[in-house]
Amino acid sequence: MKVKKNVVVKTALVTGATSGIGKATATLFAKHGYNVIITGRRKEKLKELSTYLTKKYGVEILELCFDIRNNDEVTKAIRGLKKSWLNIDVLVNNAGLARGLHPIHEGRLDDWETMIDTNIKGLLYITRLVSPMMVAAGKGHIINVCSTAGHETYPNGNVYSATKFAVDALTRSMRVDLYKHGIKVGQVSPGHVEETEFALVRFDKDVQKSKIYEDFTPLKAKDVAEVIYYMASRPKHVNIQDILLMSSQQAGSNFIDRSGRK
């Protein structure tokens, strides 16, 4: 939290802000006057978003370029923060991905390791660095991006689902560890979301295979961002623990009305 011309300006850190849900979330926080720390591996995308948000909303944006799987890189970035960026009010643990969609007996070990390293270990690395600052400040809010896949399984979703079940367990565990320090912990659990690179990444940039949203209308990245901002903007005494949301044409991981976009 910073005070600018007698107005309190809050700070949010959004991981994985170079595309999809993270980019939409960083944009919404900036629109609401937050200064935002944006992270990701693609420097040019961070720069582009930073320039856009600074110009459009007049807030301060800090780009931190690192691979969240590499604890040395994460540590260097967070420990290197200038004093004015140290009071992080909201941490959105969004960076994550799915790789592959194979039955367990045909899964690629490399994909499994990438998902575990990013979705679980990466989330832990940054949380381990940011949460002590929140504990010292006696306040803060951590919002993890889980998934419907963190609540139920679907064919071939095995390891991705396991990482999101782990995110769910971490959200619950973090909350019981941190609530006595004045820190809220919650998560958002979306079903399918378009306007993201999720499917392209899952299917090795195969554009044909990644066309998984053509026969129904999924959520949009902005829909999830709005839920995250809603969670972050509740009064001090309200902590939303989990919001599970899907498009109207999805009723569960295994129930999608693919009869055309409605």
Where along the sequence are the contacts to ligand 8X3 (CB under 6 A)?
147-149, 157, 160, 191-192, 253
In eight-state DSSP terms, residue 247 is -
Task: Kindly state whether residue 186 participates in binding ligand NDP, applying the rule CB under 6 A.
Answer: no
* Contact status: 145 vs ligand NDP (CB under 6 A): yes
Q: Whose Cβ is closer to ligand 8X3: residue 77's or residue 115's?
A: 115
How far out from the chain centre does Cα 71 lie?
Answer: 18
Site for ligand NDP in 107-126 (CB under 6 A): 118
Nearer to ligand NDP, 118 or 249 (CB): 118
**CB of 122 closer than 8 Å to CB of 168:** no
**Total number of residues that touch ligand NDP (CB under 6 A):** 28
Query: Does the footprint of ligand NDP cover residue 161 (CB under 6 A)?
Result: no
Number of H helices, E strands in the chain: 8, 13
Burial of 155 from C-beta contacts in 10 A (0-12 / 13-18 / 19+) = exposed
Q: How far is the CB of 191 from ligand 8X3 (least distance, A)?
A: 6
Q: Position of tokens 């053509």?
A: 214
Alpha carbon separation from 143 to 99, 200, 229 (Å, rounded): 23, 25, 10
Among 11, 27, 94, 161, binds ligand NDP (CB under 6 A): 94
Look-up of token digits 């809220």: 184
For position 130 contacting ligand NDP by CB under 6 A, the verdict is no
Return the number of the residue (233 or 254) whose C-beta is nearest ligand 8X3.
Answer: 254
The 3-state secondary structure of 148-177 reads HHHCCCCCCCHHHHHHHHHHHHHHHHHHHH
Q: Is 154 a catalytic residue?
A: no
Task: Residue 100: name its binding partner from ligand NDP, ligand 8X3, none (Cβ under 5 to 8 Å by kind).
Answer: none
Q: Catalytic pick from 125, 160, 213, 229? A: 160
- The residue (of 56 and 211) whose beta carbon lies closer to ligand 8X3 is 211
d(CA 67, CA 114) in angstroms, rounded, equals 11
Q: Is 147 in the site for ligand NDP (CB under 6 A)?
A: yes
Q: Residue 133 or residue 212: which is nearer to ligand 8X3 going by CB?
A: 212
Bridge partners, residue 8, by sequence? 3
Which one, of 109, 203, 143, lies nearest residue 16 by Cα? 143
**CA count, 13 A, side-chain hemisphere, 51:** 6
- The option from ligand NDP, ligand 8X3, none interacting with 118 (CB < 5 to 8 A, set by class) reads ligand NDP
Q: Which of ligand 8X3, ligand NDP, none does 201 bind, CB closer than 5 to 8 A by kind?
A: ligand NDP
Pairwise CA distance, residues 6 & 65, whole Å: 31
- Positions in the binding site for ligand NDP (CB under 6 A): 16-22, 40-42, 45, 67-69, 94-97, 118, 145, 147, 190, 192-193, 196-198, 201
> Catalytic residues, which ones?
160
